[in-house]
Amino acid sequence: MQIADRFHLLQNFTQVLEQTLSPHTAVLDAVDTAQRLADAPDGATVMIAPATSPQLDAQQRALQKRAQRLKTYQKVWRLHQQGWSTGAIAKKVKLSSRTVQHYLKTTSFPERQGRSDRGRSLLNPYKPYLLEQYNQGHRQVKVLFREIQKQGYGGSYMTVSRYVRQLAQAQGMRLRQYPSHRMPAVVDSPRPPLTPKRAAFLVLRRAETLQADEKQLLQRLVEQSEVAPAITLAQAFAQIVRQRQFEQFDGWLERAEASGLNPFIRFARSLRDDYDAVKAGVTFTASNGQVEGQINRLKMLKRQMYGRAGVELLERRFLLAS
């Protein structure tokens, strides 16, 4: 009996919600700005993150590519279940036979590993110092750049210049413009921008783990009519999976398919394709997750020995690793 792993169900669904929220970056920016202003001390000027960025565009492209890979993966499995050979499937979906074989060896969609340092900037540790100096009137980029270089900064001059320009823009000034009177201090919130990815994780977090400001941010999101239906559906699915409310699963599928949200519709259809395993996953406490984990560990050990290990050696290493 196949029982879908609840962890992977929610992991895949997070990507679905992220893809759904991606067209609504203007809404996310407005919500983020409102929350930052609410968090700021009285009389302070809040530095607002740029509405768009190359990183955000890259995330959207990555989501589109992932959706295409998932669609191909599901098609490979459908053709395989219809009795097609590996070579015929490869020709049909325009993939190599090796990739098709890899897909057919996996029990769930193989995600690509992202960079662990994504979203971090070399400038982050030095932003508090730059902000302090800027608010004290020290605004020459070259001087600030040299000072943080002495402190260990290894990034570019342009990164520093861009950040100082954002501070100036928060006060309604140009980069090299100096105020004729005292200006309100600029506050740069340490909280990262509300990207579609961060919003998706926020929506699907357990309520008891949210901080007070995160609860306020989530409430502001729910109040936006453009994204409210997706958030309501997403939270309902997370509750069904976590609390194993199997009696509500069929109704959720129908609501998702009638939502008009294409990522949700595709996800619901993929769940129907594997209905028995998914329904079992939201019904029973057990799952195939442990089995899949052991299989992946065995594959890792085999790769470490460059595929040349015999059964006896693999067995010993597997038992020792346990």
Q: Domain coordinates of the chain in residue numbers?
A: 1-40+193-287, 124-187, 289-321
Least Cα distance to 240 among 269, 277, 283 occurs for: 283
The reported pLDDT for the residue numbered 297 is 64
Amino acid identity of residue 206, one-letter, is: R
Number of H helices, E strands in the chain: 16, 2
CA distance 163 to 175: 10
User: How far lies 77's CA from each of 8, 72, 90, 150, 276, in Å?
Assistant: 18, 9, 11, 57, 16
The reported pLDDT for the residue numbered 50 is 47
The reported pLDDT for the residue numbered 116 is 40
Question: 295-298: long-range contacts (C-beta < 8 A, 24 or more apart)?
Answer: 295/107, 297/321
CA distance 117 to 35: 26
What is the Cα gyration radius of the chain?
Answer: 25
CA distance 314 to 86: 28
φ, ψ of residue 187 to 5 degrees: the values are -115, 125
**H or E segment to which residue 78 belongs:** helix 54-81
| Dihedral angle over CA of 212, 207, 63, 2, nearest 10 | 160
Only one residue has tokens 């599901």, namely: 74
> Chunked in runs of 10, what are the mean pLDDT values of the chain (322 residues)?
78 93 89 79 55 51 79 91 92 92 81 51 87 87 94 92 84 63 67 88 94 92 94 96 91 95 93 88 66 62 62 66 58
**H or E segment to which residue 236 belongs:** helix 228-243
